[in-house]
Amino acid sequence: MSGHRLLQGKVVIATHNQGKLREMRELMAPYGVDLVSAGELGLPEPEENGHMFSENAAIKAVASAQASGLPAIADDSGLCIDALDGAPGLFSANWAGPGKNFVPALARVQAELAKRGATTSDKRRGHFVSALVIAWPDGHQELFEGRVYGEIIHEPRGPSGFGYDPIFKPDGRAKTFGEMSSDEKHGVPDDGSEALSHRARAFQLLAAACLRLPQ
């Protein structure tokens, strides 16, 4: 625990994204932390001009911590596709446009892969990245990262999740993230084994360092 701080009391989830907020609330539920979102507090969304997921997560966490006077957790995540030289990557949300409509974003992924001749599974590899940053009002920060690798399938499958979930099939699984329940996708196993989703893997590291289950 040396160097880490425990999260207690009220904590801001620095997001206006309802899908991320829902997943973070589910992950944090066992720890008895009082959560409020940046959107619920009416906090502005800062410009994300970092060059890495961790930098953008820190920008959001610091902005919410400074504006609220509370510890804040921010996630920056995205889908990196090998055949597209890592795109959409940091711009995963941008591909969905200002209205965050991922239907055209999913279509764009398929169109870009088709341009590269990426028709077989070995040419449609990709991974999700999640960087979780906790920022305290006094400037202290902690970073936790998770990744999950898999295949970009040809047609979207499943109504669950959000973003690019319907076209991402993680290695070793028959279902896409869009076909999985919340527990399947990011439930943290009770036996201490690794979680499945990128956000849950990052959260496992955060929880081990900065959270304690209520006595």
Enzyme catalytic residues: 76
Question: CA–CA separation, 157 vs 151, rounded Å?
Answer: 13
Rama region for 17: left / alpha / beta (φ>0; ψ in -120 to 50; rest): beta
71, 134 contact by CB (below 8 A): yes
175, 189 contact by CB (below 8 A): no
Question: CA–CA separation, 4 vs 45, rounded Å?
Answer: 27
Q: Please, where are the H alpha helices in 50-187?
A: 53-68, 102-115, 182-186
- Reported residue count of the chain is 215
| Count of C-beta atoms within a 10 Å radius of residue 55 | 16
Question: CA–CA separation, 47 vs 59, rounded Å?
Answer: 8
| Count of C-beta atoms within a 10 Å radius of residue 114 | 11
Q: Which residue type is seen at 76?
A: D
Question: CA–CA separation, 190 vs 19, rounded Å?
Answer: 24
